[in-house]
Amino acid sequence: MEPFTCQFAVGQDGVACSAVWWVGTAKNKPDLYIAVRSLSGELKATVHAPHPPHAGWFRKFGFDMKAASPVSQQAKRDGGPHKVQWTGCELAPNVTLEYRVIIRGASLEEVGEPVDRHVMLLPVPSINEYVEVDVILGPKGATRGHPRERDGETYLLSEGRLSDDRRIWIVHIVRPIKPKEVIPAPIEPNRIGSRAHLDPNADLSSGGLRAIALGEQSDGSLAFWDLKASWRPTEGHRS
């Protein structure tokens, strides 16, 4: 069985206004990955389904063991390669929501980047909406249809299989932002703490910047927020 892959972003007319995301599987192991495409060789989340000689599930987000960039090397020295773990959200027997990617209309670039035909473009939400992409694992064997939300129209983006025949569904839905909904604000790289994984030699003074916020949710899924980032030099800095 060939590995499954899916690439997506929010955009239109061949132009992505968000980061480009990649979901993929291993060829000979039942592993499910997600990453920002440009960082997939350095930083990603992985679900390891049970396979001999491993009896249980293992889920981790962090830096690849072979990642060689200065940022990755420093991050691995600072607490090891694995940064976040989660349990998966059980939706039904043998069906778990693993990853959520949340992209707000307010977090899109005004001028996007052209992408190739392999990138599936999702609808552009309004300033008061967001797109949520859910990556769901299902049972082995035959399945019918795809999981759907109760409170909105759910569209199938892609589907495939792990190497052990478990079903993969990638679905998306556009939702309004609720008045009291807490969604992370845009990130300013120089204000996210001394333990932030940033390259001190990077030129952040020009060009569009994006960032991701992430964390395990109360339901057990792992959520990512695809955000705009801004560069505000500290006092005394001259660009």
Identify whether the C-beta of residue 165 lies closer than 8 Å to the C-beta of residue 138.
Answer: no
pLDDT bin (cut points 50, 70, 90) of residue 201 is low
Residues in Cβ contact with 39 at an 8 Å cutoff, skipping those fewer than 6 apart: none
pLDDT at 39: 79
- Give the sign of the dihedral formed by CA 13, CA 14, CA 15, CA 20: positive
Percent residues over pLDDT 70 in the chain: 75
Q: Which of the pair, 205 or 47, is modelled with greater confidence?
A: 47
CA distance 57 to 33: 14
Domain-wise residue ranges, the chain: 5-229
The structure tokens 């556009």 sit at: 174
pLDDT bin (cut points 50, 70, 90) of residue 237 is very low
Whether pLDDT at 25 is above 60: yes
Whether pLDDT at 76 is above 80: no
pLDDT at 53: 83
List Cβ<8 Å contacts ≥24 apart for 214-220: 214/61, 214/84, 215/84, 216/84, 216/85, 216/86, 216/87, 217/86, 217/89, 217/100, 219/89, 219/97, 220/86, 220/87, 220/88, 220/89, 220/90, 220/96, 220/97
Give the model confidence (pLDDT) of 39-58 as tens digits. Answer: 777 789 999 999 988 889 99
Identify whether the C-beta of residue 98 lies closer than 8 Å to the C-beta of residue 32.
Answer: yes
pLDDT at 234: 57
pLDDT bin (cut points 50, 70, 90) of residue 179 is confident
Whether pLDDT at 71 is above 90: no
Residues in Cβ contact with 145 at an 8 Å cutoff, skipping those fewer than 6 apart: none
Average pLDDT of the segment spanning 175-184: 72
Average pLDDT of the segment spanning 146-167: 92
Whether pLDDT at 87 is above 90: yes
Residues in Cβ contact with 230 at an 8 Å cutoff, skipping those fewer than 6 apart: 186, 187, 188, 209
